[in-house]
Amino acid sequence: MDCGCAAPYIGPSLDRTCGGGSFILFMSLLDTFIRNKCDLSDICGRVRPKTRPDFEYDFVVIGGGSGGATAAGRLSEVANWKVLLIEAGGDEPPGSQVPSMVTNYQGDPHMDWNYKTEPQNQACLGYPEGRCSWPRGKVLGGCSTINGMMYMRGQPKDYDNWVALGNPGWGYQDVLPIFKKSEDNQEIGILVDANYHGVNGPLTTSRFPNHPELAEDVLKAARELGYPVTDDLNGKQYSGFTIAQANVK
């Protein structure tokens, strides 16, 4: 299928991410299908970097991850500002548009910095030296490209600690209105509380329409062991077990 434009960047194929044998053929066919499905691959809407940057910019943003890409995008809304975004990796490959392919790209040297945790005494015991993999995106979009589109804000205490370290304006109550403004949450009043979530923002947020029975089994096991279970870890409660929302339309 011709999408009506030349693909500026394709990136690693899904067939490079499987063990071998018949899986290579399947992944190759799947990758070809995704790349030629114009509304899914969005080939024509992808970044076309300048071959030779200008000598001067009003702003230079280092790192095109979730934060850097957002900052550069907001700055570029001012028409007369010139913004340069620098990213070590390339654009996201079409295969990464499928959330269930998330683990296929984790560990790929073209898209992941391949960090390891420090040796652990009570975790990562099945790994050499007790060190787990710590996926960090080396790709436009950063970790948002290899995290399965899961939407998690993190612990409020972390934001408040930033203020305690001398960064005013970064407390949880300071950033909560920005989180709400960024969302177009499809489940307010159904699964999540409007006091913590918003609508009409650029990030469409909801649960995946289907999830495996195993997910419910995990929640049931958590309840039996006395752990908190909730519909929303980005609201009043921020620790426990949940079936998370994701940034999906």
pTM for this prediction: 0.77
Bigger pLDDT: 95 or 198? 198
Q: Does residue 7 belong to any structural domain of this protein?
A: no
More confident site: 72 or 48: 72
- Nearest of 212, 63, 36, 209 to residue 144 by alpha carbon: 63
Residue 230, pLDDT > 80, answer yes
Q: Does any domain span residue 163?
A: yes
pLDDT for the residue 135: 93
Tokens of 139: 């790709």
Q: What is the pLDDT of residues 105-135, one digit of tens each?
A: 888 888 999 999 999 999 999 999 999 999 9
Q: 18 or 232, which is more confident?
A: 232
pLDDT in tens, 138-163: 999 999 888 888 899 989 999 999 99
Asked whether the predicted pLDDT for residue 52 surpasses 70, the reply is yes
3-state secondary structure of 91: coil
Q: Is the pLDDT of residue 233 over 80?
A: yes
Least trusted range by pLDDT, from 34-38, 176-180, 219-223: 34-38
Answer yes or no: is 211 within a domain: yes
**Closest CA relative to residue 242, chosen from 186, 231, 222, 234:** 231
Average the pLDDT over 58-62 and give the result. 97
CATH number at residue 158: 1.10.1220.110
Q: 104 or 213: which carries more pLDDT confidence?
A: 213
Q: Domain total for the chain?
A: 1
pLDDT single digits (tens) 1-49: 567 777 666 777 787 666 555 677 888 888 888 888 888 888 787 777 6
Averaged pLDDT, 210-220: 93
Q: Please name which of 181, 104, 184, 102 lies closest in space to residue 149, comparing C-alpha atoms.
A: 102
Q: Is residue 78 part of a domain?
A: no
SS (H, E, C) 158-182: HHHHHHHCCCCCCCHHHHHHHHHHH
> Would residue 236 count as lying in a domain?
yes
CA 132 to chain centre: 20
- Domain of 191? 152-249
Which position has the token pair 């403004």?
A: 181
Main-chain phi, psi angles of 112, to 5 degrees: -135, 135
Total residue count of the chain as it appears in this document = 249
Which residues, 6+ apart, have CB-to-CB distance to 50 below 8 Å?
Answer: none
With respect to residue 8, please indicate whether it lies within any of the assigned structural domains: no
Instruction: Evaluate whether residue 247 is within a structural domain.
Output: yes
Is residue 91, in this structure, part of any structural domain at all?
no
Contacting residues for 132 by C-beta, under 8 A, at least 6 apart = 116, 117, 120, 123, 124
Compute the average pLDDT of residues 168-184.
96
Res. 225 pLDDT band, cuts 50 70 90: very high
SS3 assignment, position 215 = helix
Yes or no: say if 197 and 234 are a contact pair by the CB < 8 Å rule.
yes
Q: In whole numbers, what is the pLDDT of the chain averaged over residues?
A: 89
Residue 206's pLDDT is what?
95
